[in-house]
A and B are shown apart, each in its own frame.
Chain A
């Protein structure tokens, strides 16, 4: 296969794989609550994930160190263990939310009872992970997730106020409740910069044996994949703003999200939206599950790898099985997946600095990185985003409490 085709296929899968339940929930709620005002935050978040995912990929390709290796090495065992526990809690919450999202999408498609579909969903995910080569998992879920593009068509068909959309890309506050504005801004950043994405990506880079020769591909993946994926987030918010804000609807249900495609495009829109949600969220569930297993295996030095046979990395395999079972238990309690998503995103924001500070340190270490150490541009952006990350990390939980999760 030619390199360009390979790149194109990879990018298609990345677009479909960009959106997870956190993006669905926060973009749609932000649009429904504040209109187009927070579109600029999506751009800030997407640039942030491009900066750090490029850095993680480069560190992994040059130094052969995935993210959690760097975390333990730079933070030491004690603090590193704290980072591990925090990231595993967030991972589990995210996984539980994604599994809930899969079950809800299946429920809307099939009409079967929700709890039965949770179990079916978990079993299906487990079987897919066990039996399907990873390359295919990535493609199936990535391409399936492309059905979410229906939200782009939907957003256009809803005839948004394009002038309002344009001003949304310029930071401004046009609401009496500034705290709600700040809460959604923090949530959108968290949803775009979810740390499990970089754990997963950097481990994949090590596993596939990328070298400095692949750094061009790494950069292209980050920049093109995430920017195009980010347009889906923008479309979700624009559609929600055009549809829900005038009606005063607060979309607290995954089915409401699909209205952004159903109202302008009818049944076919609804179906594509649900299929897109199913694959995007299902793919994200698998990535999250693997991220949790990567983190614990890398922290303790166990054998790991999704390209190996399950018995080739036994504790890694047990780790993802245990995570799936725990997610099942969490979501079977009947807790609302949208609520779990909000908690997961906000807590992930709190833990963000523990992930990104070690990466920035290692990316600047000439002893590991040699010629490929961070340049001025990467450092300028890296430091700028570190300030942003620290700021949102400190304010996330107070904002969540003060605004009753954005309810005002």
Chain B
């Protein structure tokens, strides 16, 4: 992100849709990794996506993380191209290892004619 506009991370980034460089929806911003809190110069280092991250998102989040298996995917903040209604990424979902659930689910329905 190069532009210097003010952004409320809680409302403006967290829980937003991730969209890859090909316009594919590939997850939501489940949490943010923040660095430099001790030094008093916090900055967002990465976007975190995946079920294990939900553990830090309230009681129901912890329960959901317990039920749903999955891996955490870390998307470095440098990969963010711009933010509007969604968070747009510079690379494809595949390169960032996002949206793999859809890739797996596709196998279940590909065999049906007209899919």
Contact = CB atoms under 8 A, between A and B. Distances in A.
Interface of A: 63-65, 69, 72-74, 76-82, 130-131, 298-304, 309-311, 313-315, 317-318, 321, 367-368
A73 B15 contact: yes
Contacts of B112: 130, 310
B61 A77 contact: yes
Interface residues of B, number: 36
25 contacts: A64-B86, A65-B85, A69-B16, A69-B17, A72-B28, A73-B11, A76-B15, A76-B57, A77-B58, A79-B58, A81-B60, A81-B61, A81-B64, A82-B60, A130-B114, A299-B28, A301-B17, A301-B27, A302-B101, A302-B102, A313-B102, A314-B106, A314-B108, A315-B101, A367-B12
Main secondary structure of the interface of A (DSSP, over half): helix
A298 to B, nearest CB: 8
Interface in B39-56: 49, 54
A77 B57 contact: yes
A202 to B, nearest CB: 13
A406 to B, nearest CB: 33
Contact of A64 (B85, B105, B109): B85
Interface in B74-115: 84-86, 99, 101-103, 105-106, 108-110, 112, 114-115
Given A81-B61, A301-B18, A301-B25, A311 B85 contact: no
B110 to A, nearest CB: 6
B85 A80 contact: no
Contacts of B57: 76-78
B26 interface: yes
10 nearest A-B pairs in the assembled complex, by CB-CB distance = A78-B58, A301-B28, A77-B57, A314-B105, A64-B85, A301-B27, A314-B106, A311-B115, A78-B60, A303-B25
A285 B32 CA distance: 38
Nearest to A311: B115
Contact of B108 (A79, A299, A318): A318
B24 A303 contact: yes
B109 A314 contact: yes
B8 to A, nearest CB: 8
Contacts of B15: 72-73, 76-77, 80
A311 B109 contact: yes
A298 B114 CA distance: 24
A78 B61 contact: yes
Contacts of A76: 15, 57-58
Contacts, number: 92
Contact of B109 (A78, A298, A318, A368): A318
A12 B105 CA distance: 37
B9 interface: no
B59 interface: yes
A130 B115 CA distance: 8
Contacts of B103: 314
B26 A303 contact: yes
A216 B70 CA distance: 44
Nearest to A64: B85
Contacts of B11: 73-74
Contact of A318 (B54, B61, B105): B105
Nearest to A81: B60
Given A77-B58, A78-B59, A303 B102 contact: yes
Contact of B115 (A300, A310, A367): A310
Contacts of A300: 27-28
Contacts of B27: 300-302
Nearest to A313: B102
A311 B58 contact: no
A131 B17 CA distance: 29
Contacts of B64: 81
A315 B102 contact: yes
A55 B99 CA distance: 31
A77 B109 contact: no
Chain B CB within 10 Å — which of A77, A79, A367 has the most? A77
Contacts of A72: 15, 28
A72 B110 CA distance: 30
Chain B CB within 10 Å — which of A80, A130, A302, A304 has the most? A302
A130 B30 CA distance: 32
Contacts of B115: 309-311, 317
Contacts of A82: 60
A73 B58 contact: no
Contacts of A315: 101-102, 105
A257 to B, nearest CB: 36
